[in-house]
Amino acid sequence: MHTGRMLIAVSSEAAGCMRSRIPRFTDRHSADQPRTFFRAAMAILCALTFSGLVSVQARAQQALTLPRGLDQLTAEAKVIVHGSVISAKIEPHPQLKNLITVVVAMRVIDSYKGNPPKTLVFRQYLWDLCAQLGAAEYGKGQELLLLLGPVSEYGLTSPVGLEQGRFKISRDRNGQATAVNGRGNLGLFNLVEQRSRSRGVQLSPRTTALVRNSKPGPLPLLDLEDAIRTFAGVR
């Protein structure tokens, strides 16, 4: 009996203590309680939203940089051009101020897909610091071959597969040109012959030899152009 009365007493005391710790709307701080809760909820929501956006961005970037063969890059590209950079400027997106972009102007020397103007201007989103450093590839006067994807509703485009669709062109003392993409042309012709055969695409003797004897490193620009024209259906 004594034990039962002690438990009841302790329980009553604990309940009273808990009641005293619960904020009441008659307290002088009651007006701050909803605001505090709202701020905390918004902070959590913003944190979750930001982490979700980062996750989506990471997945999108990963998808963009999956290894692709030249036939796949050509098929996905909306415009394919060979030209030289006139200017490149890093700046925020005009509407989406938090996005850092590079605006590139190029003088078009030749085109293999699409109908680009003689001076092509495009805006590319720069994912991160590495992408911003990569924008240095658009140095003034740099000769490039670009396989550009469709332009988004926000006016953004980029080479298909990012660095895979951007070929830097170099010339030796004799003027012979070679081209190499941001991955050193690694995997550029993997399974290309098999995919072409399954789609009924007839490779030229030059492209067939290139595919069968491919290896990483720069390749003759003329060979690259011939292969792109084959995959784009332009001869």
Is 141 in contact with 84 (CB distance < 8 Å)?
A: yes
Average pLDDT score, the chain: 80
Alpha-carbon dihedral angle through residues 64, 66, 72, 76, given to the nearest 10 degrees: -10
Is 167 in contact with 148 (CB distance < 8 Å)?
A: no
Residues 6+ positions from 91 with CB-CB distance below 8 Å? 100, 101, 102, 103
| High-pLDDT (> 90) share of the chain, % | 59
Separation between Cα atoms, residue 11 and residue 196, nearest integer Å: 80
Residue 6 has pLDDT above 70, yes or no: no
- The pLDDT tens digits of the residues spanning 121-168 come to 999 999 776 666 667 789 999 999 999 999 999 999 999 998 999 999
| pTM as predicted | 0.71
- The pLDDT tens digits of the residues spanning 15-31 come to 444 444 444 544 554 55
CATH classification number, 70-232, choose in 2.40.50, 3.60.21, 3.20.20, 1.20.1530: 2.40.50
Residues 6+ positions from 220 with CB-CB distance below 8 Å? 176, 177, 178, 179
Q: In this structure, which amino acid lies at residue 131?
A: A
